[in-house]
Amino acid sequence: MSNNNRVNVGLVGIGFMGWIHSLAYARSEMADLVAFATKDPKKQSGDWRGIQGNFGPPGQQISLDGLDVTDSLESLVKLPHVDCIDICLPPHLHVDAAVYAMEHGKDVLIEKPVALSIEGCHRIQEVSKRTGRLAMVAHVLPYMGPFAYATDLARSGKYGPAIGGYFKRVISDPTWIPDFYQADKVGGPLVDLHVHDLHWIQLLFGKPRSAHAVGRMRGSVAKYVHVIYEFESPDIAVSSSSGVIDGPGRPFTHAFELHLQDATVHFEFAAHSDQAEVMPLKVITRDGQVLRPELPAADDISAFQAEIDDMAISVQSRLSAPRLSLDHAAGAVELALDIQSQLIASRR
């Protein structure tokens, strides 16, 4: 740990998510990006201008002042002043990178999905337990404005426990993501997309006892699903819809209706090719009020900064924050793969 109690981080994977994470470190008052690893000579020189994604600013030329630049994870973990390795590599590389870093004395923050298989999740869990290193997973959704508000409200108990809801996350075909539909590279819509909601559902309600799905396939990978979840309590009623539709005029939408005992929380956002449309966050109470909470000012990086700060608190306290829980992240992958297996079995 650095002398000023800030957490020093080494970043591996200088693509879109690595760029977004670097912007979050620039804002954080709790963690510093002190090193990064890439095999790309241009990126080693600080030229990140070729990086682009579907939100946030495009990559820029960065200053290398105060940064150690290495060409491999193996070199990165040898830096004694690095406390945590931030893994923004492609999903199929997450497990080996996380295991290597933990076995060499570093905590890890792993971009979602934590792994592409249940075996990969279990391997990270086993190594984290054996080495005593923290393995945290960067599921940013519960740090984003309306989702963060709903998470905090449910945890506060102000309107009673969470008893159900509906969760939606739908995109058009992400042609900009190579290998999106390859189960062993990116994972497809369930593992790469719906995993956000599967993670959040566990934060709100605990892990479902079972999930029952119908949907469409693209080869051996689920393309679009409707899912109903069962919990130990018969009073909890939860469902979700997620996946890819062939409608590039609406490239992205996400929404939720969260049922608390004494209130319903509702939000929806849809990006269309001509404009974005929002149904702002509302809290509809049992006594007939419609409350419209004013959320803190935020931009595309704000949630990632909150996520990074939670990582730093976790490293300092040696206790992973609930929203970064490895168990929740692994459970989300397990649910995604179970849903996909159901759809595959239904076609035999």
pLDDT (0 to 100) of residue 3: 53
pLDDT at position 2 is: 54
Spans of all domains in the chain: 7-138, 142-303+333-346
DSSP code, position 153: H
Q: Which two tokens stand for residue 172?
A: 């058009």
> What's residue 94's pLDDT?
98
Per-residue confidence (pLDDT) for residue 56, from 0 to 100: 80
3-state secondary structure of 28: coil
**Beta-carbon contacts of residue 4 (< 8 Å; ≥ 6 apart):** none
Express each pLDDT in 39-49 by its tens digit.
999 999 999 99
Q: Quote the CA–CA distance of 13 and 283 in Å, as a whole number.
A: 39
pLDDT at site 55? 81
**Predicted pLDDT at 57:** 87
Architecture of domain 7-138: 3-Layer(aba) Sandwich (3.40)
Q: How far does the chain reach from its first CA to its final CA, in angstroms?
A: 54
Q: Show the low-confidence residues of the chain (pLDDT under 50).
A: none
Q: Which pTM was predicted? A: 0.95
Distance (Å, rounded) from C-alpha 269 to C-alpha 250? 11
pLDDT of 212: 97
What pLDDT does 53 receive?
A: 77
CATH of domain 142-303+333-346: 3.30.360.10
Q: What is the pLDDT of residue 348?
A: 77
Q: Where are the alpha helices (DSSP H) in 223-325?
A: 302-317
The H or E element containing residue 265 is strand 263-271
The Cα–Cα gap between 156 and 310 comes to 18
Residue 63, CB-side half-sphere exposure with 13 Å CA sphere: 3
